[in-house]
């Protein structure tokens, strides 16, 4: 069984995340969306709300589950017996950042990282941009799944 983890804070989940996950479905038997928590990070949405957004978005997909985790992603992957990490790349800067992490993860654990390029129509979307729009009472709805309601 090919099991993969798609890790992130998903604060909130965006159409970019949605695109990467949907395109990953045919590649893996199971995808675990790992909602990471970092005590040093200030989130706009509490963990339970972020988890609900994601669970509601993927409710119809039996091969997708959503789980919260803390600590290193590779330790979470070992715990859930996943051999792959899925990451989306929007631009060259993402690649350089993610490449170093992927090499380190493979060196420490043998877990492979699979990179998918974001679709052109969602490549400009990031959670931080969405949070900025929400903070300023802008229309964020074209950038997130319909399940993200403020």
Contact between 69 and 78 under an 8 Å Cβ cutoff? The reply is: no
Check residue 54 and give its pLDDT: 98
Check residue 150 and give its pLDDT: 86
Which own/partner pairs from 89-94 qualify as long-range (CB within 8 Å, at least 24 positions apart)? 89/115, 89/116, 89/117, 89/118, 90/16, 90/118, 90/123, 90/124, 90/126, 91/123
The reply to whether 147 falls in a domain is no
Instruction: Answer left, alpha or beta for residue 131, where phi above 0 means left and psi between -120 and 50 means alpha.
Output: alpha
2-29 pLDDT tens trace? 999 999 999 999 999 999 999 999 999 9
Instruction: Answer left, alpha or beta for residue 148, where phi above 0 means left and psi between -120 and 50 means alpha.
Output: beta
Out of 39, 41, 42, 107, the active site residue is 41
The reply to whether 24 falls in a domain is yes
Q: Is residue 78 flagged as an active site residue?
A: no
For the chain, what is the domain count? 1
What is the value of pTM for the model shown? 0.95
Q: Is residue 103 flagged as an active site residue?
A: no
Out of 9, 50, 87, 127, the active site residue is 127
The reply to whether 149 falls in a domain is no
Contact between 69 and 34 under an 8 Å Cβ cutoff? The reply is: yes
The reply to whether 150 falls in a domain is no
Out of 17, 24, 50, 87, the active site residue is 17
The reply to whether 89 falls in a domain is yes
Give one DSSP letter per residue of 8-46, joined into a string.
Answer: E--TT--HHHHHHHHHHGGG-SEEEEEEEE-TTSPPSS-
The reply to whether 146 falls in a domain is no
Low-confidence ranges of the chain (pLDDT < 50): none
Check residue 25 and give its pLDDT: 98
Q: Is residue 17 flagged as an active site residue?
A: yes
Q: 3-state DSSP helix/strand/coil percent for the chain, to nearest 5?
A: 40, 20, 35
Check residue 40 and give its pLDDT: 81
The reply to whether 143 falls in a domain is no
Give the Cα separation of 112 and 103 in Å (integer).
9
Strands (E), the chain: 3-8, 30-37, 64-70, 84-89, 112-117
**Which residues constitute the domain of residue 10?**
3-135
Q: Is residue 127 flagged as an active site residue?
A: yes
Q: What is the CATH number of the domain that holds 31?
A: 3.40.50.620
Out of 23, 78, 90, 131, the active site residue is 90
Check residue 48 and give its pLDDT: 96
């Amino acid at each position: 069984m090919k099991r993969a983890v798609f890790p992130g804070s998903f604060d909130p989940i965006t159409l970019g995340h949605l695109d990467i996950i949907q395109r990953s479905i045919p590649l893996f038997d199971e995808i675990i969306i790992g909602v990471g928590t970092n005590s040093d990070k200030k989130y706009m949405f509490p963990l339970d709300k972020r988890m609900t957004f994601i669970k509601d978005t993927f409710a119809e997909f039996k091969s997708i589950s959503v789980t919260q985790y803390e600590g290193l992603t590779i330790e979470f992957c070992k715990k859930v017996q996943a051999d792959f990490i899925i990451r989306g790349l929007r631009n060259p800067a993402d690649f350089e950042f993610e490449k170093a992490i992927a090499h380190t993860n493979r060196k420490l654990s043998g877990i492979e990282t699979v990179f998918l390029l974001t679709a052109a129509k969602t490549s400009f979307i990031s959670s931080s941009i969405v949070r900025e729009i929400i903070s300023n009472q802008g229309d964020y709805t074209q950038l997130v799944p319909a399940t993200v309601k403020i």
